[in-house]
Amino acid sequence: MAEVSTTKGISKGVVKLTVLLGISFAIILLFKPFATEEAYRAFPVIGSRVWVWIIAQLHLNFAAFVLGVPIFAVAMEFIGWRKSDERLDKIAHDFAKLFTVGYTITAILGTVLLISLPILYPKFMEHMMKILGPTWWLYIVVMYTETIIVAYYYYSWNQMKTEGKGKHVFLGLLVNLAGAALLLITSSWVGYMTTPGGVSEAGELVSRWDAIMTYMWLPLSLHRLVANVVFGAAIGAAYAAYRFTTSTSPEDKAYYDWMGYTAAMICIAAYFILPGIGYLLGVEIYAFNEQMGIQLMGGFFAWLWVMQAILMGLILFFINYYLWISLNKMPGGERYFKYVKLLYIFTLLGWAIWMTPHSVAVSLEEARRIGTYHPILGNLGVMASKNTATIVAMLATFYSYAIFRIANQEPTVPWAKTGTMVKAAVMIASFVGILWIGWYSYIVPAEFRVKVLSTIQFGLFFGVMIATLVIDKYLYKDAHIIGEPEWGKMPDRSQYALIGVTVTFTWLMSLLGYMRAGGRQYWHVYGIVKDTSPDAFLPTHGFASVVASITTILFFFVVAAVFWGIIKTEKVPEGGTS
């Protein structure tokens, strides 16, 4: 096929470049560029920190993409194989097109990063190699091994489609295992830099395993895993949205509508549990060093959390908007329009409280009259209210999803009325319980609120979601189907919402990366290796936002090139060339 040969030609060129960069890295390591009296070297024009910042973030973005997408691509291939569903196999193959090129780009960026660090920060890298050196070599081996497996996984798709499908799914499993290994390795580096362990006060290695198993390692790995699934699914949804808006045939629109819906549902499901895992990560940082926790949550970065709340709330509205519009393609969905306004109010109120700052910049006269904190809004800017507001907004979004799932069905079980009333009672009780815990959090010690009440709140949130899904499973068993979803009959603005989720989440990832690194303040390795470079200060939020924006634009420029390359190969005529 011309498509395959063209894609192979592109891939071979990228793989050659990757191999050349890998050889360059090996040569640099052999010459040991960090074996010097210099602690730092300058990068032209933009400086070393900004260069490493941009390359590292681009690498993390693509790493998140190529870790998240294969998870549900292989899952759909497996389900399609077991159910003999050709449609699921096709969507899995389409997602494989995305991450196949993405892997080579990730490998290139990773190589550039691993070349840049020992050249620009030799003394820092000398310490990291001394403490975690074996993990760096393991990273290189796994990264290039994974790239080879991915290439074989994609190009053997048609060959193993009828015979050897089980082996092909196993290849996909290997891809995901390699991706998880890379995530664990890189999380050990970040975990050691932020919450170091396994070393003496002088920075000498005591236990390499303890240097890996730091406070941050497992919660950070779990947080990144879930975030990567959200991100990968969002990229897949954005690709489907773009193909939907540029397609002209009803068949193509129907397929890409279904593809976007599938990716969006995976994105939403993973997004629901992300704040809880993020809270767990914050608790571990507090456990390691309370001062660092205060710095991140209530010090220099306090206003950055307001920016984060604005962006995460915006993602919730994009998701809700997509689900509410999607009711139009579900026969019978109009029955639930009356609940949309109520869900909108709960989401809006939760978002408003979520992004309310604890202290508001006021004039000198106002400060003298009312104090540093606003008498009303100041009470909404603390974690007791923000945890509650976050969960309320997330729960409202979940109910938008729950309504959409059953919009075209009518229960037929004898206990349908009772089951519906029980489900409604669970919904109401959950809101009341979460609000009551939020109120009670104001009158208990902070330690009890953090370790007990917040855990109960998130537990109640997850419990309610599980209870609702379980009730629906039995309530709508053998339900009457009012009509099949009318795939493809969606306005273009619904697809813009999916693209909005992807762009916002990408920018948020870059901004939170700046916050996580900034928690170390003027340390390369907190309390062990001090940053003595000219950049040993925290950049302003404005400067960080500019760098995050540039990184986001560069990322989507490359992603757009990937989309264009995939579409271009699909348009190559049989026997022709591109």
Write down the pLDDT at residue 572: 46
- Centre a 10 Å sphere on the Cβ of residue 452 and count the other Cβ atoms it contains: 14
Quote the tokens at residue 62.
């693509």
Strand 409-410 and strand 480-481: the pairing is antiparallel
Return d(Cα 78, Cα 427) in angstroms, integer.
Answer: 34
Residue with tokens 């699914």: 233
Q: How far is CA 192 from CA 216, 234, 456, 525, 529, in A?
A: 8, 30, 30, 7, 11
Write down the pLDDT at residue 374: 64
Q: Where are the alpha helices (DSSP H) in 289-415?
A: 290-297, 302-326, 337-354, 364-370, 377-380, 383-405
Secondary structure of 198-212 as H, E, C letters? CECCCCCECCHHHHH
Secondary structure of 342-376 as H, E, C letters? HHHHHHHHHHHHHCCCCCCCCCHHHHHHHCCCCCC
Environment class of residue 387 by beta-carbon count within 10 Å: exposed (0-12), middle (13-18) or buried (19+)?
buried
Environment class of residue 170 by beta-carbon count within 10 Å: exposed (0-12), middle (13-18) or buried (19+)?
middle
Of the candidates 539, 536, 544, 535, which has an alpha carbon nearest to the alpha carbon of residue 48? 535
Q: What is the pTM of this model?
A: 0.83
Return d(Cα 358, Cα 309) in angstroms, integer.
Answer: 13
Return d(Cα 243, Cα 362) in angstroms, integer.
Answer: 48
Write down the pLDDT at residue 30: 54
Return d(Cα 342, Cα 338) in angstroms, integer.
Answer: 8
Sorted by sequence, the CB contacts under 8 Å of residue 566 that are 6+ apart come out as 97, 98, 101
Asked if residue 415 lies in contact with residue 454, where contact means CB atoms within 8 angstroms, the answer is: no
Asked if residue 434 lies in contact with residue 461, where contact means CB atoms within 8 angstroms, the answer is: yes
Q: What are 529's strand-pairing partners? A: 525
Write down the pLDDT at residue 321: 93
Torsions phi, psi of 480, nearest 5? -75, 125
Return d(Cα 493, Cα 148) in angstroms, integer.
Answer: 39
Residue ranges of the chain whose pLDDT lies below 50: 1-6, 9-10, 13, 572-578
Write down the pLDDT at residue 209: 93
Would you call 202 helix, strand, or coil by DSSP?
coil
Quote the tokens at residue 460.
């109640």
Quote the distance between the C-alpha of residue 445 and its chain's center.
Answer: 33
Of the candidates 113, 144, 146, 121, which has an alpha carbon nearest to the alpha carbon of residue 25? 113
CB-side neighbour CA atoms (13 Å) of 400: 30
Amino acid at 555: F
Return d(Cα 499, Cα 27) in angstroms, integer.
Answer: 41
Write down the pLDDT at residue 3: 44
Environment class of residue 213 by beta-carbon count within 10 Å: exposed (0-12), middle (13-18) or buried (19+)?
middle
Quote the tokens at residue 291.
């001062």
Of the candidates 206, 260, 273, which has an alpha carbon nearest to the alpha carbon of residue 234? 260
